[in-house]
Homo-oligomer: A and B are copies of this chain.
Amino acid sequence: MSDIQTSYLTSLGISTVETITLLGQDLSEDLIGHVSFGELAYRLITLREPTPGEAAMFNAVLVALADHGFTPTAIAARLTWLSAPDAFQGALAAGLLGGGSRFLGVSEDAGRFLNEALSTVEGDLPSDDAGWDALATQAIEARRAAGGFVPGLGHHLHKKGDPRVPRLLELAREKNTFGPRLALFAAVGRVAPGVLGKNLPLNGAGACGAVLADLGIPQQMLRGVVLLARCAGLLGQLAEEMRTPIASEIFNHVEEAAQFRPLGGTPAEQPK
């Protein structure tokens, strides 16, 4: 028998018989029809009302990250829907579960890299490109010395530059949200070829991480924003799978190309 006297505090949704309150505002009167979905997501994460420029920039990042075609996660979602069409939520969840370190982690990694580099600055932040370039050089060299690689650089396809990067930089200036992470990220792009001795252009996922960190998204929530964006992309993929399916053909391709590999050739890892 428990006699716990508890209260669970929340600043988000709470309801009474006659009202629904969200973030301390009346959902029906103050929010529905007044804020966009992107803006609401921003408020739910940060508990802060964005400026119009911040709201526009947050929406821009969500648009930039929503869909990338037939990614492994999109294919996984389609295959899951093929197997279990009775549970749409399962197909969506399967797609989101691929949102880990390798394909979706770049925004988070870039945000962390930039935050850490900024935290090493004592006194004022740089005030011109030369200053940012010096900080970027130092951060890249520190990362390389530690045996790590610099997140936000390089793309398996867009080898001459990711077209989203200049657009996001331009838009951040236009919307007056160009902050220190984006300044540092742009500097990384300028100095990296010289420091690393090879041409690795900035990628869009890294730029999104920089923008989001400048917008005040906590580092631990960066991956969450990417997943929200990807959620819309997966809805598109699943709606398309319903209209013009391909999962069954992918499955057939794999099944037909399957061949048995005798066990002898691949011994399991042995205990010492």
Q: Is A131's beta carbon under 8 Å from chain B?
A: no
Mark each residue of chain A from 13 to 26: 1 if its CB lies under 8 Å from any CB of chain B, else 0.
11111111111101
CA gap between A11 and B238 in the complex, in Å: 12
CA gap between A263 and B10 in the complex, in Å: 9
Instruction: Please tell me if the beta carbons of B97 and A2 are within 8 angstroms of each other in the complex.
Output: no
Copies in the complex: 4
CA gap between A74 and B35 in the complex, in Å: 23
Residues of B within 8 Å of A17, CB to CB, are 157-160
Q: Is A128's beta carbon under 8 Å from chain B?
A: no
- Specify which of B8, B218, B236 is in contact with A259 (CB 8 Å cutoff): B8
Instruction: Please tell me if the beta carbons of A266 and B11 are within 8 angstroms of each other in the complex.
Output: yes
Q: Is A193's beta carbon under 8 Å from chain B?
A: no
Residues of B within 8 Å of A243, CB to CB, are 266
Residues of B within 8 Å of A67, CB to CB, are 12-13, 22, 44
Residues of B within 8 Å of A40, CB to CB, are 62-63, 66, 232
Instruction: Please tell me if the beta carbons of B221 and A235 are within 8 angstroms of each other in the complex.
Output: yes
- Specify which of B8, B20, B252, B260 is in contact with A254 (CB 8 Å cutoff): B8
Question: What are 14 A-B interface contacts by the 8 Å CB criterion?
Answer: A11-B261, A13-B69, A18-B160, A40-B232, A45-B235, A45-B236, A46-B239, A72-B251, A73-B79, A75-B76, A76-B80, A82-B103, A86-B102, A214-B271
